[in-house]
A and B are shown apart, each in its own frame.
Chain A
Amino acid sequence: MSRRDARRVLGLPVCAALAAVLAAGILAGPRFGEFHGAYGRMLNAVAVPQRHATNVVTSIVFDVRGVDTMGEEFILFAAVVGVVLLLRDEREPAGSTRADDVRSDAIRMFGVVMVGPVLLVGLWLAAFGLVTPGGGFQGGIVIAAAIVLVYVSAGYRQWSRFGRERLLDPFEGLAAAAYVAVGLAALVAGEPFLRNLLGNGQTGTLVSGGSMSILNWAVAIEVAAANLVLYTEFLESYVVPHISER
């Protein structure tokens, strides 16, 4: 019996047992569709009058669970730093020529047409995150996806202008720092960390939610920059050695 067969034979009952225990545990919890979590109900009732943000999910992410979101943001930051450290030393020496990959015209055309609209959708998602579905996290990844389309349509040379670490790293670092700065500003003003300082604004408008909208944009930039750094690292490790082989 090979090692692989052994893993299959041993793994199957283990996974089945694991799933069974998990299912039993979940079944002991609240029944589907009848969950009455006190926090969720309370927030649905008070979040809009108190925070003036019609999207309760966003107001939880950036206000009620603000400190936790800061933690999440730094997980993102740490993971990206890890990827950069692991992949960066495979870099080609500077000054070598980088050719563009040849692509089909249809894909190129698709990219050209889509860059603008996708970028707009990303900005719109981030901007209206406190009003309608959306927010910094979703807006950020859409913005990053839009800029990846530059690579698809215009090739690596154009992409590398956006993807330069000199440009992206400050964005990523500053956005992460901005989140903490907003929190510290509240401390300086004698309020608890991350306390909303700017008032609530008018419900249903772009400035609703006070400092939540600042945090929202900080997260949008952080997520967009973090994803772009990731894509750049992976693309560079793929495209650059590929070209140098020719």
Chain B
Amino acid sequence: MSILAALVVAWVFGVGVYGAIVSRNLIHLAICLSVSQSATYILLLTVGYRHGAGAPIFKGVPLGSPAVDPVVQALTLTDVVVGVTITALILALALDVHRESGSVDPDEIAELQG
């Protein structure tokens, strides 16, 4: 299980980067980057997971009952919300490029600039 979690995190990150490399569209590229970013969510949460533990919310369960690590969850929480804003910024940059060059294909844009 430990090996599987590590492999999945590495796979998700790698496939996101690969998608960005072969991308033919800047919007496609932005989504691929967000896939790479989602690898960090999986990594943090699988690192914090403990067998047989509940969520770190002590409402209705006695204090001291086993719970997963809350620190990594707090990190991931802000990561998710800030991540979507950053993706919006990347998309806005892509639209700006499109306005300047009339294309969202990285190859065409590179050719236009010589």
Contact = CB atoms under 8 A, between A and B. Distances in A.
B88 A72 contact: no
Interface string A206-246: 00000000000000000100110010011001000000000
Contacts of B57: 54-57, 132-133
A237 B64 CA distance: 52
B78 to A, nearest CB: 4
Name the 4 nearest CB pairs between A and B, nearest first: A19-B14, A40-B69, A11-B21, A23-B10
Contacts of A79: 82, 85-86, 88-89
B2 A27 contact: yes
A76 interface: yes
Interface in B34-91: 43, 46-51, 55-59, 63-64, 67-74, 77-78, 80-82, 84-86, 88-89, 91
Interface in A86-104: 86-87, 90
Interface in A167-182: none
Interface in A126-185: 131-133, 135, 137-138, 140-141
Given A18-B17, A23-B10, A32 B5 contact: yes
Nearest to A85: B92
Interface stretch (A42-50, A106-114, A117-125, A190-198): A42-50
Contact of A4 (B18, B24, B64): B24
Interface string A51-92: 000111100110001001100100110011011001100100
Given A43-B70, A48-B58, A54-B59, A86 B85 contact: no
B74 A65 contact: yes
Given A39-B71, A40-B71, A19 B50 contact: no
A40 B22 CA distance: 40
A201 interface: no
Interface of B: 1-7, 9-11, 13-15, 17-18, 21-22, 24, 43, 46-51, 55-59, 63-64, 67-74, 77-78, 80-82, 84-86, 88-89, 91-93, 95-96, 99, 107, 110
Contacts of A41: 69
B86 to A, nearest CB: 6
Contact of A131 (B10, B59, B81): B59
B95 A86 contact: yes
Contacts of B80: 137
A35 B69 contact: yes
Interface residues of A, number: 70
Contact of A87 (B77, B81, B95): B95
A107 B57 CA distance: 37
A8 B88 contact: no
Given A4-B107, A57-B73, 5 more contacts: A11-B18, A15-B17, A40-B70, A79-B89, A230-B85
Nearest to B78: A72
A76 B87 CA distance: 11
Interface string A1-16: 0011001101110111
- For A11, A19, A138, A204, the residue with the greatest tally of chain B CB atoms inside 10 Å of its CB is A19
A133 B2 contact: no
Contacts of B96: 86
